[in-house]
A and B are shown apart, each in its own frame.
Chain A
Amino acid sequence: MEIRVNGKLRSVPDDGGTPLLWVLRDTLKLTGTKFGCGIAQCGACTVLVDGQPIRSCITPVESVGTSPVTTIEGLSGREADAIRAAWTSIDVPQCGYCQSGQIVSATALLSGVRNPDDPEIDSAMAGNICRCGTYSRIRAAIKSAAASLSTPA
């Protein structure tokens, strides 16, 4: 089977029913995408498929076809840069284990909504658990990234 990950077509030997998460992690060694629950409850495994955030732990690899998959390792562009810059200046991560998923979700949010308000942030980020409790900083960093994107470079 072939999947398109971070711009490259990759051939994978896994069974089609294998969740995308384990193909990324075990087969392709893209370990930035994390396992946190396996049942679409925590968001640690979030990746983009066709630019949309999905939970890779419940997504059979065969269902993805050759749609472009973007993981934290391949996440780039203006929104991703702004998010990472804000994450750095606000020092969002603590243990960091949830942060790949947080950053993928936040980048997808900013790609769709230029200046998200609190309810928009809530609904985009409610699926991403952080047990270290970095939520206030995540919210602040999304707003700061959004502000930086609306300032002409």
Chain B
Amino acid sequence: MTTGEIDRRGLFKGVGAALVIGFALPVRGAAALAAAEPFAPNAFIRISPTGITIVSKHLEMGQGIETGLAMVVAEELDANWTRIKVAAAPVNPQHYANPVMHDQGTGGSNSMMGSYAELRDAGAAARAMIVQAAALQWDVPAAEIGIERGVVRHVASGKKARLETFAQAAGAIPAPSKPVPKAASDFRLVGQNVHRLDTPGKIRGATIFTADFDLPNMVRAVVRRPPRFGARVGSFDAAAALATPGVLQVVQIPTGIAVVARTHWAALQGRESLQIAWDDRDAEQRGSEELDVAFRALAQRPGSVARAQGDIASALAAAPTTITAEYGAPYLAHAMMEPLNCVVRREDRSCELWYGCQFPGGDRRHVAAALNLPPDRVTIHTLPAGGSFGRRGSFTADFVVEAVEIAKALPPGIPVSVQWTREDDITGGCYRPMSRHRLDAAVDADGRLRGWRHRIVVQSIAETIPIPGLVKNGIDPISIRNAIDPPYDLPDMALELHSPKVGVTVMPWRSVGSSYNVFAMECFVDLIARRTKQDPLALRRLMLPAKSRFHALLAVVAERSGWHRPRPADRALGLAISTWAGSYVAHVAEVRRIGEGYRVERFTTAVDCGRVINPNLVSAQIEGGIMFGLSAALSGEITLDKGVPEQSNFDSYKVLRITDVPLVDLHLTPSEEPPSGVGEIAVSAVAPAVANALAALLGLPVNDLPLKGFLT
């Protein structure tokens, strides 16, 4: 239903037709480049006489992936790094699928892991073709040709030329069937602290994010969504909104009421004047306290069995000592700095979108379905994103489809930029789910842990993913991440899961299931250590298999944090470990008592993430991951009052500021293993490290997040 339709033709008069053709867009997409570039040996490399463009199939959302991927290609090409540019890939799952996702997308910290071998081959193939082209042109054996920092050279004849000079000729050389990447010992770029490619734009305000993207005749829209999850528009009155200067149209869409205006400010003003009666019949109306009571009750009952090894029931019955504890973690918003947004221009039989697209494959299918178009009529131009932390990787493409629904109500050819406010973001759901955990441990007479039963109560994320068979026998694999395979030797172990239905929408949030499961498990290990009077570090060493990659990390953090040294009574250390995407982390948090409160003074962190492509970028991800985890641990919390989120902006949803930042002493373990994930690895063990330090400092159990109760 569209209100203000009578005005529509008049308001948009003269704009529609002018849009159809005839202006060049600042498209970052590689598709646009391909036509102009003479040498495109594969989907990832474009070389012209004026420069080299690496095509990134992964969204740049701050993690530095464009720089990292480009380094791998430039290394194999022996290119001059200063001549490298990066372009975002178009949607083409055939060329750009993420091997872990079996579709085109960025997430799960697997970008470098999944691209490393592929890009080395791509670079090596292009290099071989350029060498071959030079050999033909100079009439010398290919084996005598070298490339160094972008210069192709034949020493004996003294011939040399820039690599790009051979772009045209290399295009005629067949690609080698088995390209041979360099030996790691010959790396010149990989392993170095290369500066990020995107810094120059970001320090001048010149980088174009979705919020900044502009098209001729573009209109702006904001949406009023229901305060409660699952509510719908009952009735609404748009008269006052339509009377707001600058407002063009008010549209009912499946997610709420959209106000379309000439400027964002006018749209916001119009939205303020909307009168909407919400229909709450299907809405979630429970508050946090009711949910907490329900979750606590579930934690006392057996759940679906995700894993059973040995016989934990008998072990618990027979053990001279059992230890039981419960832990809780709240809903969390992603609150990336750039709130969600999307630019859409719909034509009659096609649609173009510009935004920070994390899942091009899935998003395109959802958009095509919403428009009843074949997917190849939908073009997505990926722009850099102002953070995501999971939010832009929506399995339903919620914010993208919503923008398309608005575009459907506009005349064809009118581009619309849909912008969420911070309130829309914080109250909008798609949260990290709240969780409840009960753990029961069986301890031998000699204080050795036999095993535990871990019961998780958490909403399923996987059941919102339109892939059949993801949830098997009541087990959502996302809910149990890290709890299914603790790093410790546990002869008797059981993992049970309850997946209660709650109307609140949930999504992955940087480190996903690990974020709550590791909190519960690592706090529990410390509790066992306290109860059995063992050092938490020594207990972990005892419980870890001899071959575990954690032993080296524990040795580093023990040494660098001064674990075994005496310290003042107002300070305590807390340890926690975690794995993610093939990587390993150990954190020691140091907390200091200040009056009735405390401060996190220092993190001593060791990470094993396989081969480090760029230590500078990896360190930034670990530092950022610690801050992200600490922000959530200290103050992150979405609570509900009768189903309505109680936090709405940074005044109530508190996040870490520069004043709260601890020192970080970070150690990256040298490794020849393939590169593994770094975006999320640091996050989940932050909260238990701080909680364990607090428990040691205060002599009190610390079982619930956030820890703000101690901050007074």
- Which one, B59-67, B68-76, B122-130, is touching chain A? B59-67
Query: Secondary structure at chain B's binding surface: helix, strand, loop or mixed?
Result: loop
Residues of B within 8 A of A134 (CB): 620, 623-624
Partner of A135, one of B199, B220, B661: B661
> Chain A residues near B536 (CB, 8 Å)?
none
Q: B337 and A41: CB pair below 8 A?
A: no
Cβ of A56 within 8 Å of any chain B Cβ, yes or no, is no
Task: Pick the contact of B625: A84, A133, A138 (CB < 8 A).
Answer: A133
Chain A interface size, under 10 / 10 to 19 / 20 to 34 / 35 or more: 35 or more
- B336 contacts A95, C-beta separation under 8 Å: yes
A31 touches B201 (CB 8 A): no
Point out the residues of chain A lying under 8 angstroms from B198, CB to CB: 93, 96
Chain B 182-207 interface residues, beta-carbon cutoff 8 Å to A: 195-196, 198-207
Contacts of A93 in B (CB 8 A): 62, 196, 198-199, 202-203
Q: Are A122 and B659 closer than 8 Å at their CB atoms?
A: yes
- Mark out the residues of chain B between 435 and 453 whose CB falls within 8 Å of any chain A CB in the assembled complex: none
> CB of A27 within 8 A of chain B?
yes
Q: Is the CB of A96 within 8 A of B265?
A: no
Chain B positions 222-277 with a Cβ under 8 Å from a chain A Cβ? 245, 263-265
Out of A121, A132, A139, name the residue touching B62 (CB < 8 Å).
A132
Query: Cβ of A122 and Cβ of B620 under 8 Å apart?
Result: no
Q: Are B206 and A22 in contact (CB under 8 A)?
A: no
Residues of B with C-beta under 8 A to A37: 422, 649-650
* Residue numbers in B under 8 Å from A72 (CB-CB): 204-205
Closest CB in chain B relative to A21 CB, distance in Å: 9
CB contacts (< 8 Å) of A26 on chain B: these are 220, 263-265
Within 8 Å by CB of A95, from B205, B338, B617, B659, lies B338
Q: Which residues of chain A are near B62, meaning CB under 8 Å?
A: 93-96, 132
Cβ of B648 to closest chain A Cβ, rounded Å: 9
Question: Which of the segments B14-22, B44-52, B208-216 contacts the partner chain?
Answer: B208-216
CB of A95 within 8 A of CB of B650, answer no
A85-101 CB mask vs B (1 if < 8 Å, else 0) is 00111011111111110
Q: How long is the Cα–Cα vector from A121 to B658 in the complex, in angstroms?
A: 9
Q: Which listed residue (A27, A87, A89, A130) contacts B337, Cβ 8 A?
A: A130
Most B CB atoms within 10 A — which of A32, A37, A87?
A37
Picked from A30, A36, A41, A135, the residue with its CB within 8 Å of the CB of B627 is: A135
Q: Which residues of B contact A96 (CB under 8 A)?
A: 62, 198, 201-202, 207, 384, 386
Q: Is the CB–CB distance between A71 and B205 below 8 Å?
A: yes
A39 CA to B211 CA in the complex, in Å?
A: 18
Mask: chain B, 401-444; 1 = CB below 8 Å from A; 0 = not: 00000000000000000010110000000000000000000000
A88 — which chain B residues lie within 8 A by C-beta? 195, 199-200, 203
A48 within 8 A of B: no
Within 12-26 of A, Cβ neighbours of B (below 8 Å) are at 14-15, 18-19, 22, 25-26
Check if A146 is an interface residue, CB within 8 A of chain B. Answer: no
**B101 shortest CB reach to chain A, Å:** 22
A34 contacts B by Cβ under 8 Å? yes
Per the bound structure, the CA–CA distance linking A88 and B200 in Å amounts to: 7
Would you call B180 an interface residue if the criterion is a C-beta within 8 Å of the partner chain's C-beta atoms?
A: no
A103 at the interface (CB under 8 A from B): yes
Q: Fill in one digit per residue for B325-362: 1 if any A CB lies within 8 Å of its CB, else 0.
A: 00000000001111100000000000000000000000
- Is A38 close to B, CB under 8 A? yes
Chain B positions within 8 Å of A35 at CB level:
211, 264, 339, 419
Q: Which residues of chain B are near A31, meaning CB under 8 Å?
A: 205, 208, 211-212, 214
**Residue A131 interfacial (CB < 8 Å):** yes
Tell whether, in the assembled complex, residue A98 and residue B245 are in contact, meaning their CB atoms are under 8 Å apart: no
Q: In the bound complex, how far is the Cα of B1 from the Cα of A21, in angstroms?
A: 33
- Residue B656 lies at the interface, judged by CB distance under 8 Å to chain A: yes
**A73 within 8 A of partner (CB):** yes
- With A and B bound together, what is the CA distance between A22 and B246 in angstroms? 13
Q: Which residue of B lies closest to A31 (CB)?
A: B212
State whether the Cβ of B691 lies closer than 8 Å to any Cβ in chain A. Answer: no
Are B199 and A42 touching (Cβ within 8 A)?
no
Contact of B650 among A18, A42, A126, A138 (CB under 8 A): A42
Chain A residues with Cβ below 8 Å from B195 are 88-89, 91
**A91→B196 contact, CB < 8 A:** yes
- For B651, list chain A residues within 8 Å (CB): 39, 41
Q: Does B39 sit at the interface, judged by CB under 8 A?
A: no
**Smallest Cβ distance from A130 to chain B, in angstroms?**
7
Chain B residue at minimal CB-CB distance from A41? B650
Using known A-B contacts A37-B422, A44-B337, determine if residue A135 contacts B386 with beta carbons closer than 8 Å: no
B385 touches A95 (CB 8 A): yes
Q: How many Å lie between the Cα of A128 and that of B659 in the bound state?
A: 10
- By a CB distance below 8 angstroms, the chain B residues around A132 are 62, 337, 387, 624, 627-628
Report B384-396 CB contacts with A as 1/0, cut-off 8 Å. Answer: 1111010000000
Does A8 make an interface contact (CB < 8 A)? no
Q: Does A136 touch B at the CB level, under 8 Å?
A: yes
Within 8 A of B (CB), among A88-129: 88-89, 91-100, 103, 121-122, 125-126, 128-129
25 A–B contacts from the bound complex (CB under 8 Å): A22-B264, A26-B220, A31-B214, A41-B650, A41-B651, A42-B337, A42-B422, A72-B205, A84-B203, A93-B202, A93-B203, A94-B64, A94-B624, A95-B61, A95-B338, A97-B338, A98-B337, A99-B203, A129-B337, A129-B655, A131-B655, A132-B387, A133-B631, A135-B656, A138-B658
Closest 6 CB pairs between A and B?
Answer: A32-B205, A133-B627, A97-B386, A95-B62, A96-B202, A72-B205
